[in-house]
Amino acid sequence: ILIILYISDLLLYAVIPVTIVFPNSSIQVNPRRCKCGVTSYYLNCIIKYSFLKQYHLTSLPKSIKIKKLFHKQKCNYYKLRYPCWVHSKKDGTADKRVKSNHIIWKKCELCLDNYLLYTKKPYDLIHAVKNLRKKGNTIPLCKEEKKKRSILLNKKKNLIQNNNIQKLVDHFSKNPTGFEKLCSEIFINLGYQATLTPPTNDGGYDILLQKKGVTTIVECKCYSIEHKIGRPSVQKLVGANSIVSADKMIFITTSDFSESAITYAQKANVELYNGAKLMNLLNKQLSSAEEKTRINISEYQLEITDLHPYVPEDIYLKFFIPHK
């Protein structure tokens, strides 16, 4: 600290931009932009470094400033505010009839423990929050994330409550990976650890399950209700297990199985889930008071594209698209 203060005094009249290098991070600073004095400017850099170290980050967007609060806050918060024109049309875009028109950038804030982060660039704060969460830091949901989460939850609940296998088929017919993810969530809710195989790597199964030392491989097929899964498909799963050597095998489909497939599955110890059994399991999970439909935070965490409805079109195209 003393070294930095000494350097700041030397630069008091020169006022040249420098880069302060700390262990595992560096902060570029420009005293010319400082309105509170050079010494205060470099002290702010120290606060920023302290924040980066405490929350295991290497950098923050340049627009973000940090204040150190005297006391740790009881309730953290995350607020986004959006730019607008001083003079705008009904759709929010600039009224070009006014020559002196300009954009008002509003302050966005993240209060985390005894730090307050603020910036007028919402996309920069989104980027910072995403990195903080990746490092395992708990960040409260902003109102936009709560809204996105609510919409996703309702979609999933409606899909299950419909109790119509055809609706399930229609929903996932062009998204087999989504169907595999739904099946994995079923087993996660039952206490399993579930790992999805890469979409491009068809090794004969889609999900690897583990629970209390027991390994299970699962194949998932989203087919129309008239379709019958034949014996060859079940044989393929058994063949895959000759390499994996899992303890159990499960085959899930939205349709049904042929007689030969059922007979073979019984001999090969493959557990079969047809459309009716799948829907029954989904509805049981939904009605359970202990376990309701889950969605991962990665599904409702804000992306830059989620801000489009909140920002005038002309401002979004000029300032937000480059940050996607």
pLDDT digits (tens, 9 = 90+) for 189-244: 889 999 998 876 677 899 999 999 999 999 999 999 889 999 999 999 999 999 99
Q: Write out the residue limits of the CATH 3.40.1350.10 domain(s) in the chain.
A: 159-299
Contact predicate 28/17, CB 8 Å: yes
Distance CA 226, CA 258 (A): 11
Distance CA 182, CA 221 (A): 12
For 36, residues 6+ apart whose C-beta sits below 8 A from its C-beta are none
Give first-to-last CA distance, the chain, whole Å: 37
Residue type, 156: K
Q: Considering the entire predicted model, what is its pTM?
A: 0.56
Mean pLDDT in residue range 110-123: 95
**Residue 291 pLDDT:** 46
Contact predicate 323/62, CB 8 Å: no
CATH number of the domain at 159-299, please?
Answer: 3.40.1350.10
